[in-house]
Amino acid sequence: MSTLITGIGSLVTNDPGIGAGPLGLVEDAAVVVDGDRIAWVGPAAAAPAADESFDAAGRALLPGFVDSHSHLVFAGDRTAEFNARMSGQSYSAGGIRTTVAATRAASDAELDANLARFLREALRQGTTTVECKSGYGLTVEDEARALRIAAGHTPETTYLGAHVVAPEFADDPAGYVELVTGEMLDACAPHAKWVDVFCERGAFDGDQARAVLTAGAARGLVPRVHANQLSYGPGVQLAVELGAASADHCTHLTDEDVAALAGSDTVATLLPGAEFSTRAAYPNARRLLDAGAAVALSTDCNPGSSFTSSMAFCIAVAVREMGMTPDEAVHAATATGARALRRTDVGTVTVGARADLLLLDAPSHVHLAYRPGVPLTAAVWRNGVREV
């Protein structure tokens, strides 16, 4: 079954070979979806026939958002912590333990239903690919079940046993790293594509992070790192050295960190929801882009530091507060997000790509930043199926 989407006022392809600029913009465009893939892209006037047709009525079509960093297997929330923070308290990694307690107490069915609800919430806002981490279990069984549950919904699953030291190991962090790199890794690796570590004061130092990432890599998991979020530190350099797909947060960077990212294949994934929700200074996307680093945007959706599933919100904040142009932010939320997940089948509207598409209730992708907080989703296709 093929569908011709025609009357597209403005199409973001993310292929400079197809259209104008880095976004590969085509005006008065059409797209043919065949099964779960894009079969044709070009000017509406030249479009081939298809079984069905859909009139975009002059609105903008773009690749579905690729949200490359989330923590969605959890129970409970942290309303009280957020409220206290907005009344002046500061954020610390320790709050993670509150969610760990609630998550451990939840049933599999409850965690699965929570995850499904958040993924649906994201889909309604145009997000068609979501990476999902463990990290609120911190026991062998609880981490493995988090990843098992996540793997039922997305192939982009990340083992984050090294989120914080489990409360049982408060006096023996080395023992916890041993567990994370040993028995817990054995139980989790079959359900995970990635390995991650929160490299930060109050979580794991550079040596511990290296041990976690290299142990994961030895089991075939590809590294990604929570790096330089709350303070300067070794996370970014470690990510680059170990060939991580992405260094995430990148809020506190030295010139050497920026140069290392720019000279590598490691994507700098910025998570403005975290700075928004912790009332912290935003990362400087302009500095990274000007140096030549690849920059992705993602929600970091989690109950502690960034409880938003909205990629549009992240785009708007990145444009207003982090020095990105609307074009750069949209590219970061689609094509570069895909790159951060080493995916070539999502993040573009090109022949052969997955038919993951977001139709906006707006004539241009620029409206994502220009009309902050406004629900602009007109339709969403995932794998060629109209979902919204």
Q: State the residues that interact with Fe ion by CB under 5 A.
A: 300
Choice from 176, 198, 204, 381 touching ligand NIG (CB under 6 A): 198
Per-residue x/- marks for ligand NIG, 90-129, CB under 6 A? -----xx--x------------------------------
Q: What's the CA angle centered on 128, arms 340 and 239, to 5 degrees? A: 15
Smallest distance, ligand NIG to C-beta of residue 354, A: 27
Smallest distance, ligand NIG to C-beta of residue 99, A: 5
Smallest distance, ligand NIG to C-beta of residue 284, A: 18
Question: What does 305 bind: ligand NIG, Fe ion, none (CB cut-off 5 to 8 Å by kind)?
Answer: ligand NIG
Residue 257's H or E segment, with its range, is helix 255-262
Residue 226 near ligand NIG by CB under 6 A: yes
Smallest distance, Fe ion to C-beta of residue 353, A: 27
Taking the least distance from each CB to ligand NIG, the nearer of 98 and 325 is 98
At a CB cut-off of 8 Å and minimum separation 6, what does 208 contact? Answer: 162, 173, 177, 197
Taking the least distance from each CB to Fe ion, the nearer of 126 and 303 is 303
Number of H helices, E strands in the chain: 15, 17
Choice from 264, 298, 302, 334 touching ligand NIG (CB under 6 A): 302
Smallest distance, Fe ion to C-beta of residue 198, A: 8
Per-residue x/- marks for ligand NIG, 227-266, CB under 6 A? --x-------------------------------------
- Work out the burial of residue 10: count CB atoms within 10 Å of its CB; fewer than 13 is exposed, 13-18 middle, 19 or more buried: buried
Judge contact between 138 and 100, C-beta under 8 A: yes
Q: Which of residues 57-76 bind ligand NIG (CB under 6 A)?
A: 71
Phi first, then psi, for residue 169 (nearest 5°) are: -110, 20
Rg for the chain, CA atoms, rounded? 20
Question: What does 96 bind: Fe ion, ligand NIG, none (CB cut-off 5 to 8 Å by kind)?
Answer: ligand NIG
**DSSP assignment string, 179-229:** HHHTHHHHHHGGG-SEEEEEESTTSB-HHHHHHHHHHHHHTTPEEEEEESS
Quick one: tokens of 303? 């109950």
Tell me the C-alpha distance between 15 and 177, whole Å: 43
Q: Tell me the residue length of the chain.
A: 388
Q: What is the DSSP letter of 312?
A: H
Question: What does 188 bind: Fe ion, ligand NIG, none (CB cut-off 5 to 8 Å by kind)?
Answer: none
Taking the least distance from each CB to Fe ion, the nearer of 300 and 328 is 300
Taking the least distance from each CB to Fe ion, the nearer of 133 and 367 is 133
Smallest distance, ligand NIG to C-beta of residue 55, A: 41
β-pairing, 52-55 vs 60-63, is unpaired
Site size toward ligand NIG (CB under 6 A) is 14
Residue 53's H or E segment, with its range, is strand 52-55
Per-residue x/- marks for ligand NIG, 310-329, CB under 6 A? --------------------
Judge contact between 346 and 358, C-beta under 8 A: no
Within 234-286, strands assigned E span 246-249, 267-270
- Looking at the DSSP bridge assignments, the partners of residue 382 are 385
Residue number of the CB atom closest to ligand NIG: 304
Smallest distance, ligand NIG to C-beta of residue 109, A: 22
Choice from 67, 300, 328, 356 touching ligand NIG (CB under 6 A): 300
Side chain identity, residue 159 = Y
Residue ranges in contact with ligand NIG by CB under 6 A = 71, 95-96, 99, 198, 226, 229, 274, 300, 302-306
